[in-house]
Amino acid sequence: MSTALVILAAGKGTRMNSDIPKVLHPIAQVPMLVHAMRAGSVLAPERTAIVTGHGAEAVAKVAQAEDEDARIVVQDQQLGTAHAVAQARAALDGFTGDVVVLYGDTPFLQPDTLERMIAARADNDLVILGFEAADPARYGRLVMNGDALERIVEFKDASDEERAITFCNSGLLACDAGTLFDLIDAVGNDNASGEYYLTDVVEIARDRGLKVTAVSCDEAQTLGVNSRADLAAADAVFQARARAELLDLGVTLMAPETVYLAADTVIGRDTVIEPNVVFGPGVTVESGAAIRAFSHLEGCHVSRGAVVGPYARLRPGAELAENTRIGNFVEIKNAEIAEGAKVNHLSYIGDASVGAGTNIGAGTITCNYDGVMKHRTVIGENVFVGSNTMLVAPVTVGSGAMTATGTIVTRDIEPDALAVGRAKQENKPGYARKLFEMLKAKKARRDKGA
């Protein structure tokens, strides 16, 4: 049976107090909507419809960057969840399989939960996703009779006996496309809010003699985000889960609670991560590397045996080969550092390639930007770059070459050559004493005048 996704992403999220659509706020540096789309992708959906509203253009851009085939529909007026799903009818025209309704602000749904919902569809016309709530609070209660879901009762309408139920409604469901839209057509808005609620389809389905059930999942999977506090809590949930997975995979986290991970961070076993390391998007660290304290990595690849930090920054395009060393207060951007090369202190290497076995001295800078365009620096193998060398790109340093401390390199250096490019030093006897006396006298006159 083929499957389609309808992801509701129209809400403004007033409690977020933001100009950004709610579903585009990030968890682990990925928009919530993308988390929901990736969760649904386990079903290999034939179609995906994203129901947008507030900030529709921005939401559509993110959705189609994740899935270029995603169909975007707009809910011009937010008239309830059933009304939102109804907007996807045209996008699913001709589709005859199962529709799974997800929410763009519910980012933690697990693949096995969706698979169990689809499996339950084999014996049921409508499947609702529920959860056992630690604090049911004002959630809608799922009233079960064995495996059959009899009704959903909102807290305000529930009896004392029904309020004691802890099995609660998540709002997610699975249903045959034709049946779903038939049920939605029968949903009314005779309620205090004047909205069309998706939960009403359960009662309508039961009245029509259809089989309805509920599948259960962990409460954490249904965690919704409606405020900045919810966003912070959701990110904390993701981080705790991701850290635990890394520990299980054989990664050493010396202070797990201080390590921040992105949704796509990949770290090989026997890697050691010291405290206060931040991983931005697009980072892969191979087995046996070491990322030392207070380092920040994004868009980079770190090979086996490499050591990064402490206090290092790897920016997009940084490619570290095996057994490289990137030390304290070093920044690497769009540069390849070949096997065994070292950039140990206080240096910036950008738009460059550094050959195997090369040593970059402290204070070295590749001057890659002329104010308009970026230029590349190429450094060969086994080069010794002296401290405080400025490499003015575009420039090439041949293998086996050396630069003297304080050299400004503006021309290519041939292999095995020594480059010295600094002003001639002059010593002026007694000038320091005379200068200090002059400055002290000037200060004394200024202080007296004050």
pLDDT tens-place string over residues 387-433: 999 999 999 999 999 999 999 999 999 999 999 998 888 999 999 99
Domains with residue ranges and CATH for the chain: 3-222 (3.90.550.10), 246-419 (2.160.10.10)
pLDDT tens-place string over residues 289-338: 999 999 999 999 999 999 999 999 999 999 999 999 999 999 999 999 99
Catalytic residue set:
345
Average pLDDT, the chain: 95
For the chain, percent of residues with pLDDT exceeding 90: 89
- Backbone Cα Rg of the chain: 31
**Res. 1: pLDDT tops 80:** no
Q: Per residue, what are the HEC states of the chain?
A: CCEEEEEEECCCCHHHCCCCCHHHCEECCEEHHHHHHHHHHHHCCCEEEEEEECEHHHHHHHHHHHCCCCEEEECCCCCCHHHHHHCCCHHHCCCCCEEEEEECCCCCCCHHHHHHHHHHCCCCCEEEEEEECCCCCCCCEEEEECCEEEEEECHHHCCHHHHCCCEEEEEEEEEEHHHHHHHHHCCCCCCCCCCCCCCHHHHHHHHCCCCEEEEEECHHHHCCCCCHHHHHHHHHHHHHHHHHHHHHCCCEECCHHHCECCCCCEECCCCEECCCCEECCCCEECCCCEECCCCEECCCEECCCCEECCCCEECCCCEECCCCEEEECCEEEEEEECCCCEEEECCEEEEEEECCCCEECCCCEEECECCCCECCEEECCCCEECCCCEEECCEEECCCCEECCCCEECCCECCCCEECCCCCCCCCCCHHHHHHHHHHHHHHHHHHHC
For the chain, percent of residues with pLDDT exceeding 70: 100
What confidence score (pLDDT) does residue 231 get?
95
φ, ψ (nearest 5 deg) of residue 392: -90, 105
pLDDT tens-place string over residues 113-151: 999 999 999 999 999 999 999 988 888 999 999 999 999
Say what the pTM is: 0.87
pLDDT band for 450, please (50, 70, 90 cuts). Answer: low
